[in-house]
Amino acid sequence: MTERIVLAYSGGLDTSVAIGWIGEATGAEVIAVAVDVGQGGESLEDIRQRALGCGAVEAYVADARDEFANEYAMPTLKANALYQGHYPLVSAISRPVIVKHLVKAAREFGATTVAHGCTGKGNDQVRFEVGIQTLGPDLKCIAPVRDLALTRDKAIVYAESHNLPIETTKKNPYSIDQNVWGRAVETGYLEDIWNAPTKDIYDYTATPEFSPAPDEVIISFAQGVPVAIDGVKVTPLQAIQELNRRAGAQGVGRIDVVEDRLVGIKSREIYEAPGAMALMTAHKHLEDITIEREQARFKATVGQRWAELVYDGQWFSPLKRSLDAFIEDTQQHVNGDIRMTMHGGQAIVNGRRSDTSLYDFDLATYDTGDTFDQSQAKGFIELWGMSSKVASQRDQRVSGL
Ligand code: ARG
């Protein structure tokens, strides 16, 4: 029986050419799998037809939008995960859900190998292959761009000489990856890290300098997950979509960073994640009133470690799973409403209310009704500073000798 290879298919030039390229190099039949993670653009049926037109023996489309929002974006939100303090893991969290569908398709169609269109320089090859190894230890991986010398120039020549139903003249100078959680743009003139991004780079966000009238929104959360916007019930996917629209119109969520790739390269990336950043801002402010101080401090370090693991392709690792359990436990009381004004590229919280709040007006107030016993502060401070005071006395004694 002819060997079968499942290819992660985007509909773009590289993966379209990869169908025939892999076939010629390996003699295998190629099954194209496109996964909808809310990237928008062309209809998935058009993409499916193109795969068949490019020689795939089967083409399969998976609608993973709700799955992606519920099981990948929401954990990122609960973790307040920002890699290097900036990046809400847009591409990093889409790879594991795509991997799930690739492995499932490999099983269904009896494939032995999974292929993807990544280069050998980035994080995504690692995320795909570590994920595939973990979920399908018997499956092999192949990356035609990296392993079968499929360069862009060769792809154009191949597509034209084989009359593939794909545009080869439209030259996009950028490498773009997008889904409902956000959009990542790199390469081209952005590689000079002194160059400011030009307007044409952005798609999810409008220019913040010319934003429309301020937009005030109330986001309601239950156990760390958005459940209503302005009182209207929403699913996580709808919450992200609605805030992509509203926060995007205000230019919220633009990020310009030089980040540390897993493979040791520092690289420039422009992100736009209006919905993700608006939700994360609101979520963090709700945590500020509903999570106890020590738990909150520890959670920040857990969230940072979580972001690193996910960035580094360890979505399916035991440590990531354990951190998920911790984070999930912290979300028990993260219920309530956050009011936020979005304008001029910023989302600023200006009100919060929660039935599970730890904010105690009577303890906090400087007005009448204060129940905080200030006389206890004096003794507390004495003991709190004790160990440093003792050490300092020792230091002075020793250096005085
Ligand atoms: N640097 C980001 C990451 O590793 C995004 C990469 C996405 N790819 C792209 N062509 N922009 O997660």
335-348 pLDDT tens trace: 999 999 999 999 99
pLDDT per residue as tens digits for the range 228-255: 999 999 999 999 999 999 999 999 999 9
Q: How far is the CA of 91 from the centre of ligand 1 (A)?
A: 6
Q: Which of 48, 65, 95, 183 is catalytic?
A: 95
**% of residues, the chain, pLDDT over 90:** 96
pLDDT of residue 143: 98
pLDDT score at 88 = 98
26, 50 contact by CB (below 8 A):
no
Residue nearest ligand 1's atom 1 by CA: 269
For residue 307, which of 235, 130, 233, 299 has the smallest C-alpha distance? 299
**Could you tell me if 175 and 185 are in contact, meaning their C-beta atoms sit under 8 angstroms apart?**
yes
pLDDT per residue over 307-364, tens digit each?
A: 999 999 999 999 999 999 999 999 999 999 999 999 999 999 999 999 999 999 999 9
Residue 80 pLDDT more than 70? yes
pTM, rounded to two decimals: 0.97
Whether 91 is in the pocket of ligand 1, judged by its Cβ within 6 Å, is: yes
14 catalytic residue (yes or no): yes
Whether pLDDT at 46 is above 80: yes
Q: Which of 14, 36, 177, 312 is catalytic?
A: 14
Tell me the per-residue pLDDT of 240-298, one tens digit each, with 9 for 90 and over: 999 999 999 999 999 999 999 999 999 999 999 999 999 999 999 999 999 999 999 99
Residue bearing the CA closest to ligand 1, atom 8: 177
337 assigned to active site = no
CA distance 256 to 247: 17
What confidence score (pLDDT) does residue 97 get?
Answer: 98
Instruction: Say if residue 169's pLDDT is above 90.
Output: no
Side-by-side strand order, sheet with 58-63: 58-63, 29-36, 4-8, 113-115, 140-142
Predicted confidence (pLDDT) per residue in 202-224, tens digit: 999 999 999 999 999 999 999 99
Q: Which atom of ligand 1 is nearest to the CA of 175?
A: 10
Report d(CA 396, CA 57) in Å as an integer.
Answer: 80
Q: Which domains does the chain have, with CATH numbers?
A: 4-171 (3.40.50.620), 176-291+333-353 (3.90.1260.10), 372-399 (no CATH)
| Structure tokens, 382 | 């004495």
Hey, what are 352's tokens?
């919060």
Residue 401's pLDDT is 66
Pick from 232, 226, 315, 322: nearest CA to 278: 226
For residue 267, how far is its CA from the centre of ligand 1 (angstroms)? 9
In this prediction, what percent of the chain has a pLDDT beyond 70? 100
Contact 101, 64 (CB under 8 A): yes
Quick one: pLDDT at residue 215? 98
**CA gap 92, 94 in Å, rounded:** 6
Q: What stretch of H or E contains 270?
A: strand 266-272
